[in-house]
Amino acid sequence: MHIPSGNTALLELIPFDHALAQALAPSPDYDITKWLYVPNHYGEYRYILGTRGEKPLICVGVNPSTAAPGDLDNTLKSVERVALHNGYDSFIMFNVYAQRATRPEDMERSRNAALHAENMRAFDYALSLDKEGAPAVWAAWGAVIEKRDYLPQCVRDMIAVGEKHGARWFSAGKRTKAGHPHHPLYLRKDSPLEPFDVGAYLEGL
């Protein structure tokens, strides 16, 4: 379990570009030809965790927990299975907000604008990794999106970034009564991806 040590505004953040450069350099901890892990060490926030390929499925949760290369939690194991079943050769786990917290209730009450800005740079990079264009983004945050008032606006910013890349949004599994996209954890591995109108969804929040 990861319990945040405090407000991320008190941290000296590693800018995404710098963290990416470090993640692309050889690491004694994991195989960089297989994994993309930014930052490349365990800390209070995580921009990206995924596998390398030509056609990644970008899965979007609310915020990171404890997963790391070679040590995926059950949620990310499910993400990988669904991605492979739907014809993708890799997955990227991204999050609406980058602060690590196993329990969303432990997330900070106010958005750290600097952390969010770096997270949007990470999303822009993740979208650029699909060599075929029109990257696939799987909305998979469940009802947890309701835990903090700032999260829907973070998603709106993601939509704007995605538009530059022609991003296509999907969900998998049955949506909640409030219309939230299903969380990956209890999905069947053969769950199909379905088009998701994320803009219309946000209007209802």
Q: Is the pLDDT of residue 205 over 80?
A: no
Give, to the nearest 10 degrees, the angle between helix 16-23 and helix 113-128: 50
Q: Is the pLDDT of residue 69 over 90?
A: yes
* Mean pLDDT of the region 78-97: 96
Distance of CA 106 to the CA centre of its chain: 18
| Residue 37 neighbours by CB under 8 Å, 6+ apart | 23, 30, 46, 48, 49, 68, 69
User: Which pLDDT score is estimated for 42?
Assistant: 95
User: Which pLDDT score is estimated for 196?
Assistant: 97
Q: Is the pLDDT of residue 85 over 80?
A: yes
pTM exceeds 0.85: yes
Q: How confident is the model at residue 203 (pLDDT cuts 50, 70, 90)?
A: confident
User: Which pLDDT score is estimated for 45?
Assistant: 98
User: Which pLDDT score is estimated for 204?
Assistant: 80
Q: Is the pLDDT of residue 37 over 90?
A: yes
Query: Over the stretch 107-143, which tens digit does the pLDDT of each residue have?
Result: 999 999 999 999 999 999 999 999 888 999 999 999 9
| Residue 79 neighbours by CB under 8 Å, 6+ apart | 57, 59, 91, 93, 138, 140, 184
